Amino acid sequence: MTTTLASNDQVLDVTDIEPETPVRIADSASLYRRWERQQWAVAAVDPARDATKWQELSDFSREQMLGALSELEVGEVTVTHTLGALIDAPPSEDDRIFLCTQLADEARHVRFFQTYLESACGVGGSDFDTLDADASADYAQVFTPVLTAATGAVRKDNADTDSWFRALIYYHLITEGVLAATALRTTRLLAKRLALPALDEGLTNVTRDESRHVSYGLWAAANGVANGHRDIIADAHFESLGAAATVLIGPSRFNPVPAIGLAARIRAAHLSGGVAIARSRLLKQLRLIGLPDLTERAARAWDAAIEAALDAYEQRWDSPHPIRAVA
């Protein structure tokens, strides 16, 4: 049996499929056709309809959601700025056409998050800039430089194919397939729990778009592995894990442990769940692109990177991260 990755009305991520299930990853031309069928508009979501409910949330819930939304918005801005290099020198014209649709998607995601923060959360102007700086410190300081260097090398190296595949891994499989997909999943769960319907709808739309992007990354990476670029694709995965783990843990921003035991356990479970989701996605992606022999090594590297990030947090704040505090 062959499993396709999504339909018009369903969000189905390839990494949600069990490892033993045969999977046919859609190619760039098929993903372009899917993009034509799956259009949506920020205005149709109407983020302002969550404004009343937003004001009713507890201070802790608002702070938690603001941090998540700001991280997502900053990440979308970054990938919008860096995708152009991959569009410049793709393996084929079908790849270029699909990547152009992805650039339009990323711009729409930026607009959605900015509109939601302003219309539903009442965040704008200097408050918006401050919130972005606080929430995205680790992404901006740690991951943005390595993503920018990887994508920039594609232009510098005059369309060298190894550089293109290295950038593909940083962009599609680590930034989007691990970090963004994990953040979207945990934030969607939080939006459902807090009963924010416009946010839930918008995040579902964004997730559907991102499933196409990740599917493209898997298809392109699998082709790269099969056609002589295995080593650079493997190396790019391991090079990026430290930065990715740092973004998930966030050592540069204080993450208080709630005083109430139940709240502390819920918070720790939410954060631990994100780490587990990211780990699972990383290992499934390696299997899907033809590198199953690297999963055990990748699991050890990921776990070590997470522990190093938790150590960095403890050294920075002289206090255990919520994950360790509750454990």
**Higher-pLDDT residue of 219, 15:** 219
Residue 3 has what pLDDT? 32
DSSP of 152-213: HHHHHTTS-HHHHHHHHIIIIIIIIIIIIHHHHHHHHHHHHHTT-HHHHHHHHHHHHHHHHH
The predicted-structure confidence for 178-187, as pLDDT tens digits, reads as follows: 999 999 999 9
What pLDDT shows up at residue 64?
Answer: 85
pLDDT reported for residue 182: 94
Q: Which two tokens stand for residue 101?
A: 């649709």
Radius of gyration of the chain (CA): 19
The pLDDT tens digits of the residues spanning 112-162 come to 999 999 999 998 766 666 665 555 678 888 899 999 999 999 988 666 789
Lowest pLDDT segment from 66-75, 96-105, 234-243: 66-75
CB count within 10 Å of CB 30 equals 19
Contact 198, 50 (CB under 8 A): yes
Q: pLDDT tens, 48-97?
A: 999 999 999 998 889 889 988 988 998 899 999 999 999 998 999 999 99
Residue given tokens 């780490």 in the structure block: 275
Report domain extents, the chain: 14-229
- What per-residue confidence (pLDDT) applies to 125? 65
Place of tokens 């270029």: 96
CA dihedral 196, 200, 201, 206 (to 10 degrees): 140
CA distance 26 to 37: 15
Greatest extent of the chain over all pairs of C-alpha atoms, in Å? 57
On the question of pLDDT at 42 being above 80, the answer is yes
pLDDT in tens, 20-30: 455 678 999 99
Distances in Å between the alpha carbon of 275 and those of 185, 247, 268, 271?
12, 11, 11, 7
Instruction: Determine the average pLDDT of the residues in 181-200.
Output: 94
Q: What is the percent of the chain with per-residue pLDDT over 90, rounded to a whole number? A: 70
Secondary structure element (H or E) that encloses residue 248, with its range: helix 230-249
* CATH match of 14-229 with 1.20.5.440: no
pLDDT tens per residue, range 168-177: 999 999 999 9
